Amino acid sequence: MEPDFEGGENAFNIFDNKVGAGNDKWCCDDPTVDTPVWVAVQFKGPVQLSYFTVASGNDTPARDPVDWAIQGSNDGTTYTDIYHFKGTPAIWTDRNQVIKFTLPTNSPPYTYLRYIAYDTPDPLHQINEIEYFGLTAGGSFTLSPPTASYKGLVFSANDTTTSTVDTNSVKLMVDTLSVTPTITKTGPGTTIRYSPTNQFVLGSQHTFTIEVKDVGGANTVTNAGSFTVPGGYFPLTNLPGPGPGTNLWSVRHVWNAGTIDSLGTAITNLMNVGTAGFTGQFSDTNSPDINFGTGGIFGADRPYPSDVVSDPGWTGDNFVEFGTFLLPITQEGDYTFGVHSDDGMGLRIRGGRAISVSGAGQLDPNDPEAVVHPGTTGDSDTRAVYHLTTGTNRVEFVWYEAGGGDFGEIYWAKGAFTNDADSGADWKLIGSNLGPTPLLPLTNNLPSPAVSNGVWSVRFIFNAPTRMAPL
């Protein structure tokens, strides 16, 4: 049952407090009713389960379990269902999605808890993370170590049958400064969340001290230490490659360097270029825009560079395309960036802030500058809304092809949009037509006939050229 952490997509990875690809998740062969897959946990003493969370895998939804259960046992052999889900589709609607399952009442006390899966649509099974919350048999309430991200810190405290957290007693210091966390309590669980005014810098190190008492003050739990803010899919520094241009994309193709089956392996290939262990080929060129292959919503697709396709190692599969561009922003506001690619992709705008995503992609949970579709797919089909301030932003766009069809394009429009066909979305390929123009002119008023008091002034426009719309 792959009982190990790391070293592969092993079973114990569901308890590593990480959500992502590769060693962050558990992926294994297809379960059946006769040969289910499972992971059991033994506690020091009996626990009563109150609620739990399960995170979906990063890869295809067809690997999500559609028949699975959380079970309890006191001998490690005979298990009883505490919660059982059976149905299609699976309960998750997104990749790396964490869903909380709250039981109607606390479970009976069990020394063992087990996750077990009996069926998935795909020949493989995957989940990313499981967390259990409940009551222990007695003693002081428990307090978890902090979970850190660029957004802040999160602690979890859990009542026991004899010790209840006093939410008014929490004292927290970060980097030797006293701070005020937000505290929420649901059943026996208390969440202590600190969100700094200025978000933590990825990769930065900090210290913390926390003190929490229970009601009546009989028990005090303290914890102190340091934490490092994790990075996302992209490295903390700029991706290595040709320097970006202001009117042309700098584009690097990497191929014949092994299997490219995720954003993680694509970025690893880019990072390995020029190192002693790199065994593939790469080519640097310039392009007015990123609109390669045969797909997406824009026509006039660009061919791959001749020195790429003429190389004997080029097969059209397992390659990475990486583009950088210096994007000038003259008006602060929200801008939507659209991507179509086969397979996945990663978009990072240095200095930008991704605020929402629609389509198949997702916000990088550990990087406010990045939006990703980290697995393989026929079309990453993503619209990402960024808030950008005036100035010049470095755009880093990675897309990759594992096998089958291949294409990649990136485009944008001023404003916040959900779909390619949204009214007002004046899409332009980034680079070929720098735009996008504001949705309304920056002058105070639109040009119009003279305005009369109490009467509409109306102007009709006809026989004018049609603006380019997505194909």
pLDDT given for residue 4 in this prediction: 53
Domain at 11-136: CATH architecture: Sandwich (2.60)
CATH topology match: 11-136 vs 146-228? no
What is 146-228's CATH number?
2.60.40
pLDDT at residue number 135: 80
| pLDDT at residue 265, rounded to an integer | 93
Q: Where are the domains of the chain?
A: 11-136, 146-228, 249-429
- What integer pLDDT is reported at residue 463 of this predicted model? 61
* pLDDT < 50 positions in the chain: 1, 435-444, 465-471
Residue with tokens 């429009």: 413
pLDDT at 21: 87
CATH 2.40.10.10: does it fit domain 249-429? no
pLDDT at residue 470, as a whole number: 35
